[in-house]
């Protein structure tokens, strides 16, 4: 029999706050974390806003030497991991290191370090490039640093699947415990890409919203007037435990992970399949994996980034999977408040989905003034809703057509 997997701790740093509680409180209140960018000069860009993690001091989690030796995406992931372990009531010595592992996703990795060191190369020559350039830049370093920090010597992996990265990381952590390869996994992701190069690339793809005059209203999933996504940064980490182990130590259980589905569109570099087939197959796979009838699902945290094609494709996928039950589903996009955290989005949105189950509150889709008629779903417009839900899904889809769905069940369901 596969082992059951529960969630016992969570940590997050997002544009909505520097902790899970602060971020969740802002989400339930329908607040936007999108504002004009402060971290660099945006005067040469046509998009000048995003979702920054404001007020983050890596020195609260890392010593000065560690801060100098880590990229911001690693710092955010380590901070979220610290929070998650504290929330779970765990510290080194509370577990067998060989039975504990780390699974961490990032879409882009240490691009801040890459751009800084490239500039040094151009201006000062190759001899001045940092000897730590490579280990600071490579995408696996968040998982490595978290493992070092908590002496976790079991499974260790990094998933790089664009905007599905941390959702894949959660799914793979679930499998490691389910298959008996670990008893405890720290899983999630971190992303830090708010710099001119990344903005220039997405702007020239025509992927970003252009609402410089009203940043807080720029992320508009499912709305007729949506004009692209809003880029953000952040991290989310969750503690996954084998259920019997968690019960034996008296852990607080937030929710149970019951299903994981992943597929590929095999369609296009950046566009989703118009009919949403890949997304639909991922959702069906997660439901099958958890032996869950579609009618038991009450809430879906949608990937919905506010791109014209993506939101419609996901809506079509939801209708294909749920049929007549689709009209009973509550579907919201918390990206309306956080912006799109790219590789960290899946983990942060999983945390929001866990709390929706745990607290009986569904976060809203803000900025939803005129629902796109092709969406035709209950998108929890503008205000949170008190609603008990037994099972929820969270979707994450990445460039290249890589799709992930996680199915979560309320702890007492």
- Exposed (0-12), middle (13-18) or buried (19+): which is 31, by Cβ within 10 Å? middle
Co-location of 178 and 144 in the same domain: yes
Co-location of 241 and 270 in the same domain: no
287 belongs to a structural domain: yes
209 belongs to a structural domain: yes
Q: Tell how many helices (H) and how many strands (E) occur in the chain.
A: 13, 14
Give the integer Cα–Cα distance in Å for 337 and 11: 18
300 belongs to a structural domain: yes
Give the integer Cα–Cα distance in Å for 333 and 241: 27
State the Rg of the chain over Cα. Answer: 20
Query: What are the tokens at 53?
Result: 């993690």
Co-location of 313 and 367 in the same domain: yes
Q: Check residue 227 and give its pLDDT.
A: 97
- Exposed (0-12), middle (13-18) or buried (19+): which is 200, by Cβ within 10 Å? middle
Tell me how far apart the terminal alpha carbons of the chain are, to the nearest angstrom: 20
Co-location of 9 and 85 in the same domain: yes
Catalytic residue among 3, 104, 163, 168: 163
User: What are φ and ψ of residue 188, in 5° steps?
Assistant: 160, -140
Query: What are the tokens at 310?
Result: 């993506």
Q: Check residue 412 and give its pLDDT.
A: 87
Give the residue numbers spanning the domain of 95: 5-248
Give the integer Cα–Cα distance in Å for 333 and 339: 10
Tell me which of 223, 248, 273 is where a domain ends.
Answer: 248
Give the integer Cα–Cα distance in Å for 297 and 409: 9
Catalytic residue among 3, 303, 358, 379: 303
18 belongs to a structural domain: yes
Give the count of beta carbons closer than 10 Å to the beta carbon of residue 17.
22
Domain tally, the chain: 2
Catalytic residue among 104, 340, 358, 379: 340
Tens place of pLDDT per residue across the chain (413 aa): 899 999 999 999 999 999 999 999 999 999 999 999 999 999 999 999 999 999 999 999 999 999 999 999 999 999 999 999 999 999 999 999 999 999 999 999 999 999 999 999 999 999 999 999 999 999 999 999 999 999 999 999 999 999 999 999 999 999 999 999 999 999 999 999 999 999 999 999 999 999 999 999 999 999 999 999 999 999 999 999 999 999 999 999 999 999 999 999 999 999 999 999 999 999 999 999 999 999 999 999 999 999 999 999 999 999 999 999 999 999 999 999 999 999 999 999 999 999 999 999 999 999 999 999 999 999 999 999 999 999 999 999 999 999 999 999 999 87
Q: For residue 231, what is the domain's CATH number? A: 3.40.47.10
Q: Check residue 413 and give its pLDDT.
A: 77
Co-location of 135 and 282 in the same domain: no
- Exposed (0-12), middle (13-18) or buried (19+): which is 45, by Cβ within 10 Å? middle
119 belongs to a structural domain: yes
Whole-model pTM: value is 0.98
Co-location of 222 and 264 in the same domain: no
253 belongs to a structural domain: no
Give the integer Cα–Cα distance in Å for 243 and 144: 25
Q: Is 168 a catalytic residue?
A: no
Q: Check residue 66 and give its pLDDT.
A: 97
Tell me which of 224, 248, 272 is where a domain ends.
Answer: 248
Co-location of 207 and 285 in the same domain: no
387 belongs to a structural domain: yes
- Exposed (0-12), middle (13-18) or buried (19+): which is 9, by Cβ within 10 Å? buried
Co-location of 243 and 272 in the same domain: no
Q: Check residue 1 and give its pLDDT.
A: 80
Q: Check residue 33 and give its pLDDT.
A: 98
254 belongs to a structural domain: no
Co-location of 332 and 386 in the same domain: yes
Q: Is 358 a catalytic residue?
A: no
Q: Check residue 89 and give its pLDDT.
A: 98
Co-location of 217 and 269 in the same domain: no
Co-location of 221 and 348 in the same domain: no
Co-location of 219 and 132 in the same domain: yes
Tell me which of 204, 227, 248 is where a domain ends.
Answer: 248
């Amino acid at each position: 029999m596969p082992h059951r997997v529960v969630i016992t701790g969570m940590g997050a740093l997002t544009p909505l706050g520097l902790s899970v509680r602060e971020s969740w409180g802002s989400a339930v209140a329908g607040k936007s974390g999108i504002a004009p960018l402060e971290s660099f000069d945006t005067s040469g860009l046509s998009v000048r806003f995003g979702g920054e993690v404001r007020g983050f001091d890596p020195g609260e989690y890392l010593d000065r030497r560690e801060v100098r030796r880590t990229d911001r995406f690693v710092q955010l992931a380590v901070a979220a991991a610290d929070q998650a372990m504290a929330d779970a009531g765990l510290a080194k010595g509370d577990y067998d290191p060989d039975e504990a592992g780390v699974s961490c996703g990032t879409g882009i990795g240490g691009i801040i370090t890459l751009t800084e060191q490239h500039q040094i190369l151009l201006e000062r020559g190759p001899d001045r490039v940092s000897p730590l350039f490579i280990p600071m830049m490579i995408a696996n370093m968040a998982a490595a640093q978290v493992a070092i920090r908590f002496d976790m010597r079991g499974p260790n992996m990094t998933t790089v699947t664009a905007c599905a990265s941390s959702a894949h990381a959660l799914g793979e952590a679930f499998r490691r415990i389910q298959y008996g390869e670990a008893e405890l996994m720290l899983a999630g992701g971190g992303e830090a890409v708010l710099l001119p190069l990344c903005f220039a690339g997405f702007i020239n793809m025509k992927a970003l919203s252009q609402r410089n005059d009203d940043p807080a209203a720029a992320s508009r999933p499912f709305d007729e007037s949506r004009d692209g996504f809003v880029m953000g940064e952040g991290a989310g980490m969750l503690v996954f435990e084998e259920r019997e182990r968690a019960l034996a130590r008296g852990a607080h259980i937030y929710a149970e992970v019951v299903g994981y589905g992943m597929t590929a569109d095999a369609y296009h570099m950046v566009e989703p399949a118009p009919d949403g087939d890949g997304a639909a197959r991922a959702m069906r796979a997660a439901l099958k994996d958890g032996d869950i009838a579609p009618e038991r699902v009450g809430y879906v945290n949608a990937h919905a980034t506010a791109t014209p094609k993506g939101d419609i494709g996901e809506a079509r996928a939801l209708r294909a999977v749920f049929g007549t039950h689709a009209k009973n589903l509550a579907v919201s996009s918390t990206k309306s408040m956080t912006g799109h955290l790219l590789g960290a989005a899946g983990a942060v949105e999983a945390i929001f989905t866990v709390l929706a189950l745990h607290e009986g509150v569904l976060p809203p889709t803000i900025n939803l003034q005129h629902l796109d008629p092709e969406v035709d779903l209950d998108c929890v417009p503008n205000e949170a809703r008190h609603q008990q839900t037994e099972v929820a899904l969270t979707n994450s889809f990445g460039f290249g057509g890589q799709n992930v769905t996680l199915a979560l069940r309320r702890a007492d369901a």
